[in-house]
Amino acid sequence: MIGSVPDGRPAIPAELERRVLMEAGHRCAIPTCRNTPVELAHIVPWSKVRVHRFENLIALCPTCHTRYDTGQIDRLSMKGYKANLGLVSGRYGEIERRILDQLAITRVSRFRLPGGWEIALMYLLRDGLIVKAPKVGGQIINGMSPTDDYLVTTAGQEFVNRWVTAEAVSPELRIAVTIRDGRAGAAKAPDGKGRVLAVISYPGFLDEGDKIRLAEGTDVIVIGLEETLHEAGSGQTVFVGSIPS
């Protein structure tokens, strides 16, 4: 429940709470849920971080919060939902976000809206996630159709699929790793497992034990985190990973 403070921890500041709620539209951040009321959850548990930070807080309904706490939703997925929230809420307007919510649930490939709504759908159209369906016949009033049909493009379907499955919804957020020595596993540790130092473009937390899929498809287990390199840029994390044998 918003405003409650379990475990004797300090209250989440009101301004921070407001930012987290606004990011999710005051609804559950899980795209296939979006229920209310919501609670604020720590992605990395409070017992580990002992601090309230925007990037580690997410709005969840009580059911999804419980599912996360009991391991039914894994931490890496929750980090993906959080990262995607920033892009979706920052780029798309309220109507566009509601349409994305419905597409996440219904997975329809065609939908109808009142005529003249193109301005409200500007970024979905500009990003190529939807296109206006060709008009065949129908009534025209003052040069405008009373309704318009829109088609969800292949790119739009892929966007929704990635959003629902907590994969990054844009190339800027996608977990695509640049290997510093050019290829994974080039350096071998004494235990025979490959090790790699890499830069990852992912504006969230990485923990030891997280599995990351590199750009070329190699899975790497995070075994340590390093200081962000100057050349990595803002929001990027340097990690040391072990390639599973």
Spans of all domains in the chain? 6-90, 94-164, 177-243
Maximum mean pLDDT: which of 6-15, 90-99, 135-144, 228-237:
90-99
- Site of tokens 């929704």: 160
pTM here? 0.65
Residue 244's pLDDT is 56
How far apart (Å, rounded) are the C-alpha atoms in residues 186 and 194?
A: 7
- Answer for the pair 209, 193: CB distance below 8 angstroms, yes or no: no
- Average confidence score pLDDT of the chain: 75
How far apart (Å, rounded) are the C-alpha atoms in residues 90 and 23?
A: 8
Residue 227's pLDDT is 42
Maximum mean pLDDT: which of 17-21, 78-82, 132-136, 143-147:
17-21
How far apart (Å, rounded) are the C-alpha atoms in residues 244 and 27?
A: 38
Q: What is the pLDDT of residues 11-63, one digit of tens each?
A: 899 999 999 999 998 999 999 999 999 999 999 888 888 889 888 899 999 99
Scored b (16 or more CB within 10 A) or e, 57-88 reads: bbbbbeebbeebeeeebebbebbbbbbbbebb
Question: Looking at 60-64, 166-170, 217-221, 241-245, which range is the least confident one?
Answer: 241-245
- Answer for the pair 182, 97: CB distance below 8 angstroms, yes or no: no
pLDDT above 70 for 176:
no
138 CB-near residues (< 8 Å, 6+ apart): 145, 147
Higher pLDDT among residues 196 and 187, named by residue: 196
- Site of tokens 């009534």: 139
